[in-house]
Amino acid sequence: MQRTLIILKPDCVQRRLVGPILSRFESKGLTLVALKLVQASRAIAEQHYGEHRDRPFFGGLLDFITHGPVIVGVYEGPEAISVVRKMLGKTNGAESEPGTIRGDFSVSKQNNLVHGSDSPESATREIALWFRPEELVSHQLSGHEWVTG
């Protein structure tokens, strides 16, 4: 089992796509371990996207991600990190395959709706950045064996 962090970015919240997007992850068979609505501070956004500090889009990205509330969540499941990344599609919505979240709902490089951790190391770091340990609820859904086999 793996855990991964997702962020439904401000464009997702403003476009009222929270329900349809959480529904995709739920239908896929991922299990929610944590979920909350937060207004991200510039400080947490800078830490979250620290790897991009020297990129030309960094300032704009921080403006974007702090522009309104986001939904932050943790999902658990087999290969959860790569499963979510595949469901997101490519970074640029205009280049993402139809059927992916970005491919179906975005034509933008920046406003691409959802973040997903890209590696086990990133997932560990990002989950600890956004959640206190007691906010993570370990549990098993009844009938889970029908989903994970």
Q: Taking Cα atoms as reference points, which of 89, 80, 69, 83 lies closest to residue 14?
A: 69
Decide if residue 135 touches ligand UDP (CB under 6 A).
no
* Residue 1 C-beta: closest distance to Mg ion, Å: 22
Q: In the window 83-102, what residues touch ligand UDP (CB under 6 A)?
A: 91
Instruction: Name which of 31 and 115 has its Cβ closer to Mg ion.
Output: 115
Cβ neighbours around 144 below 10 Å, total: 13
Instruction: Name which of 42 and 144 has its Cβ closer to ligand UDP.
Output: 42
Q: Which residue in 118, 124, 125, 135 binds ligand UDP (CB under 6 A)?
A: 118
Residue of 52, 115, 139, 144 with catalytic role: 115
Confirm if 47 and 62 have CB atoms less than 8 A apart. Answer: no
Per-residue contact string for residues 23-52; x = within reach of ligand UDP by CB under 6 A? -----------------------------x
Q: Taking Cα atoms as reference points, which of 4, 40, 9, 5 lies closest to residue 102?
A: 9
Active site residue 48: no
* Residue 133 C-beta: closest distance to ligand UDP, Å: 25
* Residue 118 C-beta: closest distance to Mg ion, Å: 5
- Per DSSP, helices labelled H in 2-143 are 10-14, 18-28, 42-48, 58-65, 80-88, 101-105, 120-130
Confirm if 4 and 34 have CB atoms less than 8 A apart. Answer: no
How far apart, in Å, are the Cα atoms of 75 and each of 55, 125, 134?
A: 29, 15, 15
* Residue 142 C-beta: closest distance to ligand UDP, Å: 34
In the complex, the residues that contact ligand UDP under the rule CB under 6 A are 52, 57, 61, 91, 109-110, 112, 115, 118
Active site residue ranges: 115
